[in-house]
């Protein structure tokens, strides 16, 4: 019953908005704003034909691999840089330079340089996502309680064990915050990367339909990306609750 009420609270607004959209667009004559029923119709058509499913599979695979690379590189480097003062001094300017460059603007360059295929798209996603993860991890490592560091040193905890059981969990709340920031960036860059030198994926579906004036398909593709993004964020929250359960339960908010 409680979950039902909560679900009700979460859902009433989107349901209302969709309903308004549905009726307000029902008799639309503007070709750029097709009726929602028309959008849903083509969406359903392309989903059941497998066209959109294939596109989503390609896109999500690139996204997942790109994010994994970004997480691995960002967390590992973040742990090292956060823990080593000298590395921080040397690398700080570069990190802040690259994180300030608008990632979407680099997409055509990277793809131009690396050519077609999945690799450059994975690379662009990874490149865009690595910065928030890296910066947050460094901050998280810096924030690990100095007394806990002293404890680890007094008890002679070896470096690798120290990273795995002390620094990483200590920085984990921030690492997860970095991942949360990286997710939507990754989704956007994934789509944008498929607008260039591409013949598959959700971005290509959107670009292709828009270039051929299939406006409902363009809307449908965008809607699909939005829904996928939403589902990913929900799944991420579940993951977050799991890995940070000590953090939430200790009330260290």
Partner 1 sequence: MTAPQSIHTGSLDVLGGEVLLDVSHVSMGYGDGEHEKRILEDLNLKVGHSEFVSIVGPSGVGKTTLLRGLSGLLPPKRGTVSVAGQTITGPHPDIAAVFQDYSRSLMPWMTTRENVAFPLQGQGVGRRERNRRAEESLEEVGLSGQGDKYPWEMSGGMQQRVAIARALAYHAKVLLMDEPFASVDAQTRFDLEDLVVNLREALGVTIVLVTHDVDEAIYLADRVIVIAEKPATVVDVIETGFGTVRDQVDTKADPRFQDARGRILTRLRKA
| Cα gap 206→204, rounded to integer Å | 5
Query: DSSP label at 166?
Result: I
User: How many Cα atoms within 13 Å fall on the side-chain side of residue 217?
Assistant: 18
Q: State which of residues 91, 157, 197, 222 lies at the interface with partner 1 (CB under 8 A).
A: 157
Which tokens belong to 54? 């294939």
Residue 150, interface with partner 1 (CB under 8 A)?
yes
Q: Total residues contacting partner 1 (rule CB under 8 A)?
A: 25
| Cα gap 215→33, rounded to integer Å | 8
Residue 116, interface with partner 1 (CB under 8 A)?
no
Residue 253, interface with partner 1 (CB under 8 A)?
no
Query: DSSP label at 196?
Result: S
Residue 22, interface with partner 1 (CB under 8 A)?
no
Q: State which of residues 18, 161, 227, 233 lies at the interface with partner 1 (CB under 8 A).
A: 161
Ranges of H-type helices in the chain: 2-24, 36-48, 51-83, 85-100, 103-114, 118-142, 146-154, 159-162, 168-193, 202-211, 215-243, 245-249
Residue 199, interface with partner 1 (CB under 8 A)?
no
CB 69 within 8 A of CB 61: no
Task: Give me the 63-102 binding string for partner 1, x by CB under 8 A, dash otherwise.
Answer: ----------------------------------------
Nearer to partner 1, 68 or 166 (CB): 166
Residue 115, interface with partner 1 (CB under 8 A)?
no
Q: Which stretch binds partner 1 (CB under 8 A): 30-38, 70-78, 114-122, 159-167?
A: 159-167
Residues that bind partner 1 (CB under 8 A): 145-148, 150-151, 153-158, 161-162, 165-166, 169-170, 172, 246-247, 249-252
């Amino acid at each position: 019953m409680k979950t039902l009420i909560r679900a009700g609270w979460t859902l009433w607004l989107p349901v209302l908005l969709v309903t308004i959209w549905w009726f307000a667009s029902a008799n639309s004559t503007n070709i750029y704003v097709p009726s929602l029923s028309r959008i849903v119709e083509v969406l359903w058509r392309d989903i059941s034909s497998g066209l959109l499913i294939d596109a989503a599979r390609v896109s999500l695979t690139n996204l997942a691999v790109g994010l994994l690379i970004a997480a691995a590189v960002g967390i590992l480097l973040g742990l090292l840089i956060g823990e080593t003062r000298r590395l921080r001094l040397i690398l700080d300017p570069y990190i802040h330079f690259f994180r300030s460059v608008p990632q979407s603007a680099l997409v055509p360059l990277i793809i131009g340089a690396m050519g077609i295929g999945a690799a450059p798209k994975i690379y662009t996603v990874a490149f865009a996502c690595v910065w928030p993860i890296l910066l947050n991890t460094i901050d998280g490592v810096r924030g690990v309680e100095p007394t806990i560091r002293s404890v680890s040193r007094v008890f002679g905890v070896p470096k690798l064990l120290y990273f795995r059981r002390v620094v990483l969990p200590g920085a984990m709340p921030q690492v997860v915050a970095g991942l949360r920031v990286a997710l939507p960036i990754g989704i956007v860059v994934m789509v944008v990367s498929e607008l260039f030198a591409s013949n598959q994926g959700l971005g290509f579906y959107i670009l292709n339909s828009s270039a051929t004036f299939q406006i409902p398909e363009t809307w449908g593709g965008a809607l699909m990306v939005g829904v996928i993004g939403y589902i990913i964020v929900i799944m991420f929250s579940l993951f977050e609750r799991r890995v940070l359960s000590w953090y939430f339960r200790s009330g260290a908010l």
